[in-house]
Amino acid sequence: MRKFSSSSAYYQNKLKLALIGQSLFGQEVYTNLRKQGHKVVGVFTVPDKDGKADPLAVVAEKDGTPVFKFPRWRVKGKPIPEVVEAYKAVGAELNVMPFCSQFIPMNVIDFPKHGSIIYHPSILPRHRGASAINWTLIEGDKKAGFSIFWADDGLDTGPILLQKECPVEPNDTVDTLYNRFLFPEGIKAMVEAVQLIADGKAPKIPQSEDGASYEGIQKKSNAKVNMAQPTEVIHNWIRGHDKVPGAWAIIDGKVLTLYSSSMLSGSVPTGQPIEVEGASQPGLIAKSGLILFGSDGKALQVKNLQFEDGKMIPASKYFSSEETASLDLTDDEKKMAEEIRVIWKGILSNVPAIDDTTDFFKSGAASMDVVRLVEELKQKCGGVQLQNEDVYMATTFQSFIQMFVRRLRGEDQEEELVIDYVTKDINNMTVKMPHQCFINGKFEDAEDGKTYNTVNPTDGSVCLNFLLAVFIIYLQQKLNFLTSFVCSLADLMEEHQEELATIETIDSGAVYTLALKTHVGMSIQTFRYFAGWCDKIQVAQRYPSIRPDPIATSPLQRKSLWGDVCAIVIPWNYPLMMLAWKSAACLAAGNTLVLKPAQVTPLTALKFAELTVKAGIPKGVINIVPGSGGLVGQRMSDHPDIRKLGFTGSTPIGKQIMKSCAVSNLKKVSLELGGKSPLIIFSDCDMDKAVRMGMSSVYFNKGENCIAAGRLFVEESIHDEYIRRVVCVSIYFKYLNLIISVSYQSSFFMEPTVFTDVEDHMFIAKEESFGPVMVVSKFKDGDVDGVLSRANNTEFGLASGVFTRDINKAMYVSERLEAGTVFVNTYNKTDVAAPFGGFKQSGFGKDLGKTEQNTHCIITLYHFKTSFMTMRIMCMCIQVRKPFMSTCGLKL
């Protein structure tokens, strides 16, 4: 029987390949080529080092692929005959060289039918040689990339088969550039290149010598920093040598290697001066690290320092005491130390025994082993989450155990939050406003240092120069928030409510009293409400089966905390309240979040970020990334690791977000979009209340209100009187506006406006105004169904309202209005416990209440074939199992 495959890979041409190379990169290329159906007839890699095989050799031997570990291919420039014969015997049609540190003879390069292809991590002909990534950064290139070329007898001079490039971010290092682009995209490109060759479509483009360069391997001896240069040149030199071989300088009379450099675009922090040989001025040891100055007076920041003996420390701790008191371990901690010793031994297999003085790196460990150590510790030792840098800073076994136990006990001293405030004297107080991105528990500059201005709408003045997020970085930590965290956050917001309201006023133009009561007040209520859900999320519910037959099963629904990453994009009309509405439920369900405030109103979101740190919320759980929707918002929509996105804003942008979320990874989406909410006022209403509430329905929060009554329908018999009363009050508003405009000539306020006799076909009758604009139409006395038809003749369905003393009429109308919220004899009344949202082109999904909480949970249905009594016991067991916080993830 013939078997057919519908996959495209089955029908493609395939080759017999020899892989010559090493490393994780070689391993991934090997694995992906085999997945595409190519046959690897031989792997040629380096000999085992200290008893450990190269990753490429490990996976190939596991697959049964022939593996050859030649220490060299030639002696004194001449090929070794037996090595060449062993290679020829495998019968390869193409040599694939993903990463190769050995010199391969030309009679091996040219032997296969299709020759040999090589991966090189630069855009050839620039940066030929073995340190291409380093020199890309050292030279300050704005673009990086890789080339796959046909091997020849020159040094990286063969014809180009394929090239790809990416932008170099201002603070990229060799590691970030490699991990973000050169590694993942390089693997894909190697597979693509092989398939092009198999299909006979691979080009051979001769390399130009224009712009060609060749640089040698950088060594520690020639990696000294020349401090008599502009700051950016110094920064490029440091990051180009991070982590190998490491740029160094004479600082405080000592040879110190510098790691994790970044340009400092904000104000220079205060710190303790330190002498830097060759620099135009002393450096500073600040809370954020070592500050260095170039010949142009600009500054950069170095995060970590390494001494000549290999010990690495945070630069901010340079003047701290050298030693801390040694911990006495408990019996349980001693047991865990022995488990860690076993992990070290598994990695350092060449070391006879692991004792207190064993140095991780001097025993042969490399960066790949650091990753393995961190991951194994997370899995086997209580879920303690270390960073790679922790290993570099505690290299001996004894110091590592001391560091690990301190982390386990929670004794690590958290660094004080460093905030570069902008201050403003206003409202009889000095408000302090952060202006940087808030990422992983720290305020940081944007990756490219770009900024934009945010403007005070009352006078047109610039509030501050604001840092613009270029791409999203966040730490995905799956945590279940306990009630105390969210309650503490609400308490801190209440403690700082006057400052928050003042910032909200100068940022969004809100009336101070309204900002205090609604913008801030309801935000506090929202966090307190959802704090109560943290430990009360129902986890099991049994559904009785309708099938009486013996084979019926017992359906059991289980609702669990999601513990994933959510994105939130909020508008400018209620900056803090929209933040609270969308983030409180997200946090209470154990999710982390990345929030983009409106580009023009980012200030309260960043003040909120500062308060989350004081509330003890773990780093990385809440991240604030200001910037434009087209850049930051689009990245959120496209990001494959974000699982839910909540958006409040316009309908056209909501459609674009929905499309991007579907294409990327089918994110769960909730959208609260535009509205044109109808308000029907019948002749039997309470006129005073109808006038007062009708005006509030339009002019509340300057008319910048998603549920604002976009169109008033007034019964004909009371229409003229209703308009007369409204205009009288509006004239008073205009008088106030005249006074305001004298004080603030450059303000952005608009006078309250009333349009009457508006017909259904007019633009203002159909489109949302989102300002202090009242649109009034009349309807014939007694024409209830007619006015209902006109009210529902809209693509929006967010809110609506009706004023009448007749309860039967009120019920009849409210049941037929097509809107997510219907107000009867009132307006603008929302409750944090009640769901809020619309339908049609006003979006879908709900904010607030239990309904919103459910959108952040996972609901799974199980079918059990078991007895009724057993099912009851199972439900009880699931109900009593409480979620608890763990740094390694969510556990139930």
One-letter amino acid of 737: N
183 annotated ligand-binding residue = no
Nearest to residue 830, comparing CAs of 705, 714, 710, 712?
705
240 belongs to an annotated ligand binding site: no
Q: Is the pLDDT of residue 328 over 60?
A: yes
Q: Determine the residue type at 576.
A: L
Average pLDDT over every residue of 250-255: 93
Q: Is 571 annotated as a binding residue?
A: yes
Res. 559: pLDDT tops 60: no
Tell me, rounded to whole angstroms, the distance of Cα 525 from its chain centroid: 27
Phi-psi region of 236 (alpha: psi -120 to 50; beta: other; left: phi over 0): alpha
Instruction: Give the per-residue pLDDT at 734.
Output: 54
Is 155 among the annotated ligand-binding positions?
Answer: no
pLDDT of residue 451: 74
Given a cut of 70, whether residue 644 has pLDDT beyond it is: yes
Residue 749 in marked binding region: no
- CA atoms 461, 467, 471, 476: torsion sign: negative
* CA separation for the pair 163, 148 (Å, rounded): 6
Phi, psi of 49 (to 5 degrees): -115, 120
Answer whether residue 558 shows pLDDT above 70. no
630 is in an annotated binding site: yes
Buried b (16+ CB within 10 A) or exposed e, 663-693: ebeebbbbbbbbbbbbbbbbbebebeebbeb
Residue 573: both structure tokens together: 């009309």
Q: 243 among the known binding-site residues? A: no
In this model, does residue 459 exceed pLDDT 60? yes
Structure confidence at residue 591 as a pLDDT band (50, 70, 90):
confident
Average pLDDT over every residue of 490-512 = 91
Asked if the model's pLDDT at residue 742 lies above 60, the reply is no
pLDDT band at 72 (very low <50, low <70, confident <90, very high): very high
80: β partners = none
Whether the per-residue pLDDT at 706 is higher than 80: the answer is yes
Q: What pLDDT does residue 467 have?
A: 43
Using only C-alpha atoms, the chain has a radius of gyration, in whole angstroms, of 33
Predicted local distance difference test score (pLDDT) of residue 781: 96
The per-residue pLDDT for range 402-436, each reduced to its tens digit, is: 888 887 776 655 556 778 788 888 888 888 888 88
Encode pLDDT of 114-148 as tens digits.
999 999 999 999 999 888 899 999 999 999 999 99
Residue 881: pLDDT above 90? no
Place of tokens 């073995």: 130
Residue 634 labeled ligand binder: yes
Under DSSP, is residue 391 helix (H, G, I), strand (E, B) or coil? helix
Examine the pLDDT at 474 and tell me if it is beyond 70: no
Compute the distance between CA of residue 793 and CA of residue 678 in angstroms, rounded to an integer: 10
**How buried is residue 598: exposed, middle or buried, by Cβ count under 10 Å (0-12/13-18/19+)?**
buried
Say if pTM beats, i.e. exceeds, 0.75: no
The reply to whether 36 sits in an annotated binding site is no
Res 49: pLDDT = 78
Give pLDDT, residue 876. Answer: 42
Contact by Cβ (8 Å): 879, 872? no
pLDDT tens for 797-847 read: 999 999 999 999 999 999 999 999 999 999 999 999 999 999 899 999 999
Question: Looking at residue 541, what is its pLDDT?
Answer: 56
CA distances from 742 to 41, 393, 505, 654, 738 (A): 84, 62, 19, 39, 6
Tell me whether residue 650 is annotated as binding.
yes
Q: Lowest mean pLDDT of 71-80, 245-254, 280-289, 527-536, name the range.
A: 527-536
Any known ligand binding at 310? no
- Buried b or exposed e, range 218-229, using 16+ CB within 10 angstroms: beeeebbbebeb
Please compute the mean of the pLDDT values over residues 567-575 and round it to a whole number: 93
Mean pLDDT of 752-778: 92
**Helices 183-198 & 23-35 angle (0-180, nearest 10):** 40
pLDDT over 60 at 771, yes or no = yes
pLDDT single digits (tens) 387-405: 777 787 788 898 888 888 8
> Is 47 known as a binding-site position?
no
* Residues in the chain, total: 892
Q: Which residues does the annotation mark as catalytic?
A: 120, 672, 706
550 assigned ligand-binding residue: no
The predicted pLDDT at position 503 comes to: 92
Q: What structural domains and CATH numbers belong to the chain?
A: 12-198 (3.40.50.170), 220-317 (3.10.25.10), 337-409 (1.10.1200.10), 422-672 (3.40.605.10), 677-841 (3.40.309.10)
Q: Is the pLDDT of residue 556 over 80?
A: no
Quote the CA–CA distance of 349 and 352 in Å, as a whole number.
Answer: 8
Q: What average pLDDT does this structure show over 273-290?
A: 92
> When comparing pLDDT for 8 and 377, which is higher?
377
Q: Is the pLDDT of residue 778 over 50?
A: yes
Query: What count of Cα atoms within 13 Å lies in the side-chain half-sphere of residue 518?
Result: 18
Of 170-179, 575-584, 642-651, 760-769, give the lowest mean pLDDT range. Answer: 170-179
596 labeled binding residue: yes
Query: What per-residue confidence (pLDDT) applies to 562?
Result: 55
Outline where 310-438 has alpha helix (H).
331-347, 367-380, 388-392, 397-409
| φ, ψ at 834 (rounded to 5°) | -110, 140
